[in-house]
Amino acid sequence: MSSPDVSHFRSQTGFTLVEILVAVALLGMVGAMVFGSLVMTANAVQAGREHAAKEQTIRRILRLMAEEISLSKRTTMYPWVGTNATQDGQPADILAVLAMSRELSTSAAKESETVRVVYTRERDRLIRFVRRNLYTLTDTNESLDQMELADRVQAFNIRYYDDQNRIWIDEWPAVLKIPKALLIEVTFQYPDAAPWTVREWVTIGAS
C-alpha cells in the first residue's frame, strides 16, 4: 500500500500564497471603507456641532436685538424708521430706533442712556451703530460707535406688522407709529455650505 502524497495533503488542507494575498487585500479594502466611514461620520458630527454653536451664538445676538427693539421708542426728532434696502442683490435693510442702552450686552453694570441705534448689513457683516450724543449736529468719532454682531452674513431682512391694516410690510415710514411686531431674518453663507437663515420675532410693547 502506497503512502499518501504529503504535498497533495497540504494543498487540500492549507492556503496558497495567492489566497492569502487575496484575503489580505480584501481585509485592507474593508478596513479602508470602515475607516473612511468613521472619518466622514466624525467630520459630520464636528460640522454639526460647529453649526449648532454658530446658530446658538447668532440666536443669542438676535434675542438681545429683539429685547432692545421691543423697548425702543420714538420722538419727533428721532423717529422710528425701517428702510428696505439691498446690497449685491440681497436684502440689507436698515432699522433706526431710539433705545435705552449703551451696548448690546447682558451685563447690567453699565448705566443706561438714551441712544440712537441703527442696525444694518455692510457687505458680509451685521453691524450695530450707536450714536451716544443725541445733541451733536454731526456724527463724530466721539459720538458714533460701531459693533460687528456677526460675519458671513448674506442677507439681513426685516418685516413689520401694520396692525391698523393688519398686513406685513417691508418698510416702516417715519410718519407711522411704532409697529406692533417685527420679523428679523439673517441669512448666512459659509464656504462649502448651503445658506441658512435664522429668524427672530419681536413684539413691540410701546405704541
pLDDT bucket at 104, cuts 50 / 70 / 90 = low
Read off the pLDDT of residues 119-131 as tens digits, 9 standing for 90 and up.
999 999 999 999 8
| Average pLDDT of the residues of the chain | 81
Looking at the predicted structure, is the pLDDT value of residue 36 above 90?
no
Give the contacts of 148 (CB within 8 A, at least 6 positions apart): 125, 126, 127
Say yes or no to pLDDT of 110 above 90: no
pLDDT reading at 2 higher than 60: no
SS3 readout for 120-178: EEECCEEEEEEECCCCCCCCCCCCEEEEEEECCEEEEEEEEEECCCCEEECCECCCCCC
